[in-house]
Amino acid sequence: MQNGDLAQGTTQILSGRYRLLRRIGRGGMGEVWLGEDPRLHRQVAIKMLPSHNQGDREYLQRFEREAQAAAALNHPHILPVHDYGEQVLPNRQAITYIVMPYLSGGSLEDRLSALADTHRLMPPQEALTVLAQAAEAIDYAHAQGIIHRDIKPANMLLRGDDWLMLADFGIARMLSEQERLTQTGTGFGTAEYMAPEQAQGKAVPASDIYSLAVIAYRLLSGHLPFQAETPYATTIQHIIMPPPSPRQFNPTLSLATEQVLLQGLAKDPSQRPPSAHALVASLQQAVTGAPYEITRPRQPLQAIAAPLSPVAATVPAIPQTEPAATQKTFADTVPAGKASSPTTAISRRKVLLGATGTALLVLGGGTGILAFIEHDKQQGPQPTTTTVTGSRPQSTKTPGPNDPVMTLLSHTRPVSSLAWSPRSDTLLLASAGEDQQVMLWDIAAIRQGLANQKTPHTIIEAGTGIDMQLAWSPDGAYIAIGNGKLVNPNDTFNTGSFVLVYTADLRSTVNSHLVTTFLIALAWTPGKYLAIASSPSISSSSNIVALWNPAQPTQTPTPVSFSDVISALAFSPVTAQLAIALPNAIVIGQAAIVGNRTTWKAGAHSLQTNNLGLGADTITWSPDETFLAAANKSLSPPVIDIWNWKQGSTITSPIVPDSSTMLTALAWSPAAGSPLLAAGTKNGSVLIWKIDRSSPVSGGNLYPHQTLNGLSAEVFSLAWSPDGQWLAASYKDVNSSILVWSVKPS
């Protein structure tokens, strides 16, 4: 029985929930259907694997392990798994299925087929960008112990024009499992892209790198290295035949590019590049001619900071209240202009910051590749003011009114969260990156020439999460760091998220709070509580919100349950109204702790998000909490909805004039009475609107009040300083840059 019989001629319901609409793909590992999830009002892609005997428990156990492995992956370039299950058919057969987001942009295979029809090749820089995104996903999966085994253009889905998401991890195996799919006698994969050792039942991480090299070969030459009349014949070619020169298909390729491609196609896995990133870095160097050398971190990074006042031997507890008059300023505890004398535990920092004569080299093109080269001699002085107008820093230029006044460079991966200390007597910016590091930048010291833009005041390792979140306590005494992952090495699937609370200088941990589910959002109330939104499982359709007092870490109040998926949280700055973004609306109310449980009292209005597609995934309050603004970062053309929340009415729907871009971040200036609302974009600009409540614009286009010059790369996160005079943005560029602008109050 074919899976297609399940929905033959009519719309069927899968497992009592998913409505099947039409088949959109078919391959060796099953069919893909376009479906609808009526509960969450969204379209989904459902991959149905071939049918099996209903009582085959061994198969079901293997499938469940594989599906759990896929669901545990959390990366911006990996298509997430929403759900998985089994459907029993009338003939006592059954099918297993995996539910994923539906992306309408097609696949890389579709893009390549369209180019082939017009006898064109993908532009080299576009090809490198595609490969770099795939490499990030592959290396991340390998770090989690997962081999994909079927890397091919058909599994590389496109969201929009240039965002790639690698799919089909549902059939991957955990490296640590004793029972492997390859032991069944099959080398699962697609013949045109399968590594020789995988075809012989011995898949290793380097097998995925081989498959990526085949894709690179096709992108740059227009041909596959091996292709025969049958899959078996193609597989034999991969095993025994040397790959043909790609320059015979594309004479414009350099010899260096050919050598990199052939190294990636080495028969011996040990002769291939050590990682997918290394393969793409070598290709970038070969194509652009930029020199490079990959330097890997040699050991975990410990907390690094300028000398501070001694820290007590015992971990301090957070006091319930702390008078502002008794708090020391950051300058009181940090001797200006001094540097620490770290021990050998900071070898990675020396590489990052040039302490041993390390020069930072950037490979252009926005592919996210960062390289380091070490010299025997010390570097000369670095400029203290840098203006960035493109993909590379340029010094000695006087910044214009829309140009950044500084560029912070130390993270090796993009920064997912930025947060300014709320204290008015300091000017501190915290950044959390996908390199697992949290850094603290003393912007006042940088302005005064007492520190430079490549040396953060403090660096700590703070987990292994790729989407870390930051939240300062209202008094600026503590900072919460969320969404790192804890993994029990003895139980691959025992994963969770945690929240750590540090002192303001990041020198010591105050308390940690383990969230045994998946952390979604983190927000510190105007009082003493942290609000934590999480999901019971990565595929759950209901989420929970709990308040937690870090001063009482052992007390975990019972959470409030919401029947819908939560995408964002935000507290109003005056009356602590909690806004919760759900798929179709933003609900606003009061959260509190009563006894040992979190309570929720909804307000009079919920704000409908009909203009935002699947709902808001970024929300922000005006400083007087008159307005609430929201956007959906995947919506094109982009829309920002703004509500007068007390009235529950939309006042305007500003549409970004350049409808080809996409919004990536949203932040309202927190300065008292400020009308300035900032948005980051996919193309790198930062737009600022002036929303005047005395004469709000109703409907139509609302053109930006100011456009700040950024980089030719995606804005990842935004943050305003408490006084609204400084705006910081992180970028997904080759430098993982953080730009800071001086913004005139309006």
Distance from C-alpha of 417 to C-alpha of 377, rounded to nearest angstrom: 35
Sign of CA dihedral 582, 587, 592, 596: negative
**Phi/psi of residue 731, nearest 5 degrees:** -125, 150
Which three-class secondary structure state does DSSP give residue 220? helix
For residues 339 and 307, the answer to whether their CB atoms sit within 8 Å is: no
| 150 among known catalytic residues | yes
CA separation for the pair 668, 572 (Å, rounded): 11
Catalytic residue of the set 37, 83, 139, 150: 150
- Side chain identity, residue 77: H
Token code pair at residue 356: 């041993």
Residue 554 makes CB contacts below 8 A (sequence gap 6+) with none
Task: Give the SS3 label for residue 281.
Answer: helix
- Tell me if 82 sits within 8 A of 100, measured CB to CB: yes
Helix (H) or strand (E) segment spanning residue 448 = none
For 678-689, letters b (16+ CB in 10 Å) and e give: bbbbbbbbbbbb
Cα four-point dihedral sign 94, 95, 99, 103 = negative
Distance, in Å, from the CA atom of 260 to the CA atom of 283, rounded to the nearest integer, reads 6
Cross-strand pairs, 594: 597
Backbone angles phi, psi at 115, to 5 degrees: -65, -40
Query: CA-CA distance, 293 to 299, in Å (whole number)?
Result: 18
Ramachandran category for residue 529: left, alpha or beta (phi over 0 → left; psi -120 to 50 → alpha): beta
Q: In angstroms, rounded to a whole number, what is the distance separating the alpha carbons of residues 470 and 472?
A: 7
Active site residues: 150
